[in-house]
Amino acid sequence: MEMVVNGVSTRKIEQITQELRGTEFSKSTVSELCKRLDPMVKAWNNRSLEEKAYPFVLVDALVLKVREEGASGRAAHLSGSAKAPRGIARCWA
């Protein structure tokens, strides 16, 4: 279901299930399974958010090519923000 929610194509889902399960599903089977998930995804997208407090944290990373002490590699710059129940945002990097 997560792949469908994230917009992964049926072709990619077919490849992933082959790699993870060792079982091949046809594009039409994957498509039919995705159609069955549509009502659940729609219900999730349209659910009410008024009933509870939903504090959240967003975290992201930017991966850069770097050179340190004569060696090249990659380094990640992490940043994040959070929203408290009272609406106060906090940011860090």
Q: pLDDT tens-digit profile of 23-82?
A: 777 778 878 887 888 888 788 778 876 766 667 777 888 888 888 888 888 888 888 777
pTM of the model: 0.40
The domain spans of the chain are 2-45, 56-92
Distances (CA, A) of 27 to 13, 16, 52, 63: 9, 12, 39, 34
Ramachandran assignment for 29, one of left (phi > 0), alpha (psi -120 to 50 degrees), beta (any other): alpha
Higher pLDDT, 20 or 3: 20
- Please name which of 75, 83, 61 lies closest in space to residue 91, comparing C-alpha atoms: 83
Task: Look at residue 85 and tell me whether its pLDDT is greater than 60.
Answer: yes
Instruction: Specify the pLDDT at position 79.
Output: 81
Instruction: Specify the pLDDT at position 15.
Output: 79
